[in-house]
Amino acid sequence: MDLDRCPKCGRAWSGGDFCASCKFVPIGAGLDKLPKKKKRRAKRYVEPGSSRGLLTFVFLGLVGFGSWKYQPWKDDWDLVRGWFGQGKHHSLIGEWEVVKTVAVKQDQAWVAQENIQRGTVKFSDKGSVKIDLFHPQSETVANGKFKQDGVKVAMRDLRTSGEAGTSIPTVIDMRLAWTGENTVVAMDKSQAIYLKRKKKSGGGLLSFMQFRARKDAKPDDGQVPDAMRGVIGNMKRAASEAESTGDTPSSKDN
């Protein structure tokens, strides 16, 4: 306790719960050492028949339905990032075709040139990139590594090979402007490159037969002879005639 003098003997109080001189114990000594009781929070009163539980259930149901329908986790949470004003971006992995180029600085542009007829860019899931530029009578190829960070792509260690005189930089940094999942504009300080994702060729028996029946196929190298090409042509003509007349297998059955 905190007293100036002992109420019994009058000597100075030295501290503690009793007087060091006469051992007098004042009233209330030791009360500060007792454990304090925790105050209980009063529960919020909920009126019987309240609609709060129903509203909570409806809200959770709407959240679940929206997640199932829109799947916001797809495309690296592209939908959620769009709510916060961030730019859309998709994965570059795949093969892209150069459909258009616009030169900003002609002397520095390495794709937007008049002598380049077409080009492709292939990004692999292992982090490698291949740039293929086609000229009227030659081809320029560059292989290297890439890393995509949102709407930015960095290509490094590009090594150029081929007969053309086009020089592809060893280090390329570009910014991406997505116009769709399969269309994007890659831009740097010198040019804008419009890219379109190339779709994979379909499979099926007819595609396999077409692949095997190349014009350079020879009977002695194990490939399809010329007679097979006639079968494929007949199949194509029959399919086109059926589509034009509406005489499909499903229509016959009906």
| Exposure b/e, 5-30, CB count within 10 A at least 16 = b | ebeeeeeebeeeebbeeeeeeeeeee
Residues 6+ apart with CB under 8 A from 105: 189, 190, 191
133 is in which domain, residue-wise? 94-197
- pLDDT, position 87: 59
Could you tell me if residue 150 is inside a domain? yes
Residue pLDDT, tens place only, 45-96: 666 666 777 788 888 888 888 777 777 666 656 666 666 655 567 889 999 9
- From 178, 197, 216, give the residue that closes a domain: 197
Residue 140's CB is within 10 A of a number of other CB atoms, namely: 21
In this structure, the number of other CB atoms found within 10 A of the CB of residue 89 comes to 20
- The residue assigned the tokens 């009360």 is 31
Q: Is the pTM of this model over 0.85?
A: no
- Report the domain count for the chain: 2
Give the pLDDT score at 42. 67
pLDDT at 135 over 60: yes
| Residue-level pLDDT at 214 | 38
Mean pLDDT of 223-237: 49
Among 157, 181, 197, the domain boundary falls at 197
List of residues 6+ apart from 204 with CB closer than 8 A: none
Contacts of 74 (CB under 8 A, 6+ apart): none
Convert the pLDDT of each residue in 175-222 to its tens digit. Answer: 998 888 899 999 999 999 999 999 875 444 444 444 333 334 344 444
DSSP state of 25: -
* Residue 172 and residue 144 in one domain: yes
